[in-house]
């Protein structure tokens, strides 16, 4: 795995300290009439406009004569002197935990991780510890310059606990703002690319297609998402391409699985939006849920009868949805360089693919058997 562009040098930033940082800005004639928060964002490196707006409101910005400037939209005048006190980043609330990480890329502003299945991204109810955030606090240490004034990693996108693959996390406030903007655009501006690999039950009718269906909370099961009527959820679109198909094992019955003679398929999926459980919900909606999905693929348990013993064993050992974030590309939020990463299919999914491929090979039947002498 490697970036397309040369990596920015590590360790070339200021080390965070325990004392506040003081900045003094003098307004030039060319800056006359600008908003105060916009001016400061342009003149103070590494500080986002939203962060500076919060500092202004908090009373951390004063004029040259000591007056507190509390209006972010105040128009500045030539010759004005503005002093900004940036408090030291506070310690993160989640505790640092020495959890092994597969680091694909890292510089002073961001880090790309190949997340294993089973690792929760962010602390939440039921997962107060043992998360990716806990691991990153330990791994990054003092190199976290602070997100919104707190020394913590900036999560700009997430993967479900049992989805594996590539995930980028911000280490600085300016990187957090830049990455968040790219993920909010979902690739419409050409800067972001996210592709997933999924093993699904059956075979979609078309070799490639686009699933355009709004996603919202399930009307009765509030912990689940579902495709809902327009206006009741958020717009969601997923593009897919069939990469490979796997026939049912010799002698296996139909088992109720969609897709004719195909027991399963390997798909590449690209997101146009980023809704909760989007890929899993969309694939279940078209009748081809992700293999092993305990939430959206429960109605397809009988389809396992179409697999050979080796594939059934591999599916049972998988113990999760067969979904992997295999490709991640984005524009570096500070340098502007293009970064692109691809990841290998994890061992558990690779084992299932091998087993499905073995099922797909022609096998001898009773008619093929050689006559035996009685």
Catalytic residue numbers read 160
**291-329 burial code (b ≥16 CB/10 A, e <16):** bbbebbbeebeebbbbbbebbbebbeebebbbbbbbbbb
Residue 16 tokens, joined: 């965070």
Location of structure tokens 């039921």: 126
- Compute the distance between CA of residue 365 and CA of residue 104 in angstroms, rounded to an integer: 47
The number of beta carbons lying within 10 Å of the beta carbon of residue 60 is: 19
Alpha carbon separation from 374 to 44, 73, 365, 371 (Å, rounded): 93, 98, 20, 9
Residue 233 tokens, joined: 């959820």
Q: Please, what's the largest Cα pairwise distance for the chain?
A: 111
Location of structure tokens 């990596």: 7
């Amino acid at each position: 795995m490697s970036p397309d562009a040369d990596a920015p040098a590590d360790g070339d930033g200021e080390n965070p300290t325990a004392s506040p940082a003081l900045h003094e800005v003098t307004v030039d004639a060319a800056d006359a009439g600008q908003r105060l928060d916009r001016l400061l964002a342009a003149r103070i490196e590494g500080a986002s406009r939203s962060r500076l707006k919060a500092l202004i409101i908090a009373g951390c910005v004063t004029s040259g004569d000591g007056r507190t400037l509390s209006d972010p939209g105040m128009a500045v005048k030539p010759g004005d002197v503005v002093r900004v006190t940036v408090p030291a980043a506070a310690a993160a609330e989640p505790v640092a935990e020495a959890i092994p990480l597969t680091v694909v890329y890292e510089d002073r502003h961001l880090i790309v991780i190949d997340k294993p299945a089973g690792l929760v991204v962010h602390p939440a109810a039921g997962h107060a510890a043992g998360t990716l955030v806990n691991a990153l606090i330990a791994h990054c240490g003092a190199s976290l310059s602070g997100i919104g004034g707190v020394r913590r990693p900036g999560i700009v996108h997430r993967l479900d606990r049992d989805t594996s693959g590539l995930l980028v996390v911000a280490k600085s406030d300016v990187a957090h703002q830049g990455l968040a903007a790219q993920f909010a655009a979902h690739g419409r501006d050409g800067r972001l690319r996210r592709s997933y690999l999924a093993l699904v039950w059956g075979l979609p009718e078309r070799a490639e297609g686009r699933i355009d269906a709004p996603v919202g909370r399930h009307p009765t099961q509030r912990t689940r998402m579902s495709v809902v009527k327009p206006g009741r959820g958020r717009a969601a679109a997923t593009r897919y391409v069939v990469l490979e198909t796997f026939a049912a094992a010799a002698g296996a019955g139909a088992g109720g699985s969609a897709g004719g003679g195909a027991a399963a398929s390997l798909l590449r999926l690209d997101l146009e939006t980023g809704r909760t459980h989007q890929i899993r919900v969309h694939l279940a909606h078209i009748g081809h849920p992700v293999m092993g999905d305990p939430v959206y693929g429960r109605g397809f348990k009988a389809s396992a009868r179409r697999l050979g013993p080796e594939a059934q064993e591999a599916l049972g050992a998988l113990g999760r949805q067969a979904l992997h974030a295999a490709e991640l590309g984005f524009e570096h939020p500070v340098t502007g360089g293009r970064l692109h990463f691809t990841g290998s299919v994890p061992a558990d999914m690779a084992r299932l693919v091998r087993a499905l491929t073995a099922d797909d090979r022609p096998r001898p039947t009773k008619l093929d058997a050689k006559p035996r002498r009685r």
